[in-house]
Chains A and B, each alone.
Chain A
Amino acid sequence: MIEVQHITKRYGRVTAVDDVSFRVERGEIFGFLGPNGAGKTTTMRILTGYMPATEGRAAVAGFDVFDKPIEAKKRTGYLPETPPLYPDMSVREYLDFVSRIKGVPSKERRERVAGVMQKTRIADMKDRHCGKLSKGYRQRVGIAQALIHNPEVLILDEPTAGLDPKQIIETRQLIRSLAGDHTIVLSTHILPEVSQTCQRVVIINKGRVVAIDTPDNLTARLRGAETMLVQVDAPGADVTTALAAIPGVTRVGVSEQRGAAGAFEVESEHGRDVRREIARSIVTNGWGLLELRPMRMSLEDIFLQLTTDETVEEAPHA
């Protein structure tokens, strides 16, 4: 449904998006995850035809966004980071205007406007001026605007940013209910959002794609090795050698060294529980075991690890 091939966007010397490629299948919810300034908005703007890419190609619903922009735009609904509302217009006037420029036939216009207002639950605000709406309603009017011409593809830039928890849950429900009929691309820097709403995720950092997978696979991939956090009150070098000698342990890293005590990250083979051996080894050496707990990788850790440490992805190839 969406095909992005080797897109690069440079502003002068700054490279905002660097060789990004991905595919989104019909009916899928595709998450765009990355810290602020990672290039999420730029990529979305290229997809929606707001700006051209410096290099590469992108197609929406089979239409190239550079060569056939009008056809591609007819099939795309877009919610920018700030909902593009005209403060002087009432919600209904605004949606009517958007439906006109999006090419909704005049006979269907009234019905479409009423339909999206109902879907996004903004009908009670229909005569209110857009400038006087609360943040939550603005966002919903923004989504309504993106839906008005019943596009095949919906591109939502941070749809839940700045909403209160209740509104976030409602918005996520709304987005999930739209999947199937629409192919959805959404960006976020909030991690739980991705695991809760998206079927597939691309993690992007400094303009580059770091990983593309399902949220479950991403978690599993990084939990390939099981990690244990061990705190011992003994000199670091001795402990490292002792722990590394335990069968099944693949790696020992010092994460913190404070005086005599130290914290160590012990990685072991997948599925092998080495906690007893670690404890035994420390006790037989006569050291004090202060803490021993398994470290779970949440999506948040993956995100942090992938985006702060570039070597993670490249290590296997190096």
Chain B
Amino acid sequence: MRNTLAIADKELRSYFASPIAYIIIGLFALLFGWFFFVYLSVFVQRSSQMMMGGGAPNINQDMIRGVFLNSAVIILFVMPMITMRTYSEEKRSGTIELLLTSPVTDFQIIMGKFLGALGLYASMLLVTMLYIAVLFMYGNPEWRPIATGYLGLLLMGGCFLSVGLFISSVTKNQIVAGFLTFAVFLMLWVINWMADQSGPIMGAVLKYLSITDHFDDFARGIVDTKHVIYYVTFITFGLFLTAKSVDMERWRG
């Protein structure tokens, strides 16, 4: 655990020592803010209409959920930037020799890198809470669906990170790692688009595989163990692949 934390700490520090962390956080906050603004404007307009018609607008379902769903897409674009350098950079600069000859296990290294990236991702999400705070200042949204939404984002991001980590461990080239990661993420996202056209079994499988499909319930305020299990399994599998790849690299030299 101590070793894992030492590596996580180092990872997090190296993100913040380079402009990368600030660019990612800034970019994400900006886009999140844009969606937030658009959805809020629409919501304000629509709620005044609904009030006249006697309906009860729900800010959680009508606005925040939309922002969450859209930010899931931004995350898709941002995540490759976080993970593309994790292993590639260590291999290119030779620092991987330090890690692999230190008395730490591969698992501790991988966990450290994963937690470091997750830390950056969490701080990315943390910044967006400022926007949510504005809602609490001027209205009274429910906090539970917001919390589950963030939990969902965290889990979904974790999946992206574990896959990104794996891809980064396969190549020495950051750019290659970045593009590959992006392509795989996109695939995982759009895989359910074919679901309706495929047969009943294949359709269900495709739907189940899609990373974003599982997020929908979280955005709605529901924590379904089915989805939690999917995400946790996904993350474990990604980290397992990374471990295998690091081990194979070792044998190949």
Contact = CB atoms under 8 A, between A and B. Distances in A.
A11 B253 contact: yes
B102 A51 contact: no
Nearest to B102: A101
Contacts of A71: 103
B103 A51 contact: no
Given A70-B103, A88-B18, A52 B94 contact: no
B129 interface: no
B135 interface: no
A240 B2 CA distance: 74
A265 to B, nearest CB: 42
A89 B253 contact: no
A86 B6 contact: no
Interface in A235-288: none
Contacts of B17: 88-89
A101 B14 contact: no
A49 B18 contact: no
A74 interface: yes
A162 interface: no
A106 to B, nearest CB: 9
A98 B98 contact: yes
A100 interface: yes
Contacts of A48: 101
Interface residues of B, number: 27
Contacts of A88: 13-14, 17-18
A102 interface: yes
Contacts of A11: 252-253
A8 interface: no
A80 interface: yes
B97 A101 contact: no
A16 B252 CA distance: 12
Contacts of A9: 253
Contacts of A89: 10, 13-14, 17
B187 interface: no
Contacts of A78: 97-98, 101
A101 B95 contact: no
Contact of A86 (B14, B103, B105, B253): B14
Nearest to B6: A100
B15 to A, nearest CB: 9
B117 to A, nearest CB: 16
Contact of B99 (A42, A70, A82, A101): A101
A145 B103 contact: no
A50 interface: yes
Interface string A74-103: 101010111011111100010001101111
B250 interface: yes
Nearest to B97: A80
Nearest to A106: B2
Given A11-B253, A101-B102, 8 more contacts: A16-B253, A49-B101, A70-B104, A86-B10, A88-B18, A100-B3, A102-B102, A103-B3
Interface of A: 9, 11, 16, 42, 45, 48-52, 69-71, 73-74, 76, 78, 80-82, 84-89, 93, 97-98, 100-103, 145
24 contacts: A9-B253, A42-B253, A45-B97, A45-B253, A49-B100, A51-B250, A69-B103, A73-B101, A78-B101, A80-B94, A84-B95, A84-B96, A84-B97, A84-B98, A88-B14, A89-B13, A89-B14, A93-B13, A97-B10, A98-B98, A101-B99, A101-B102, A101-B104, A103-B103
* Pairs A-B, 9 closest by C-beta atoms: A88-B17, A84-B98, A100-B6, A73-B103, A84-B95, A48-B101, A80-B97, A74-B103, A82-B94
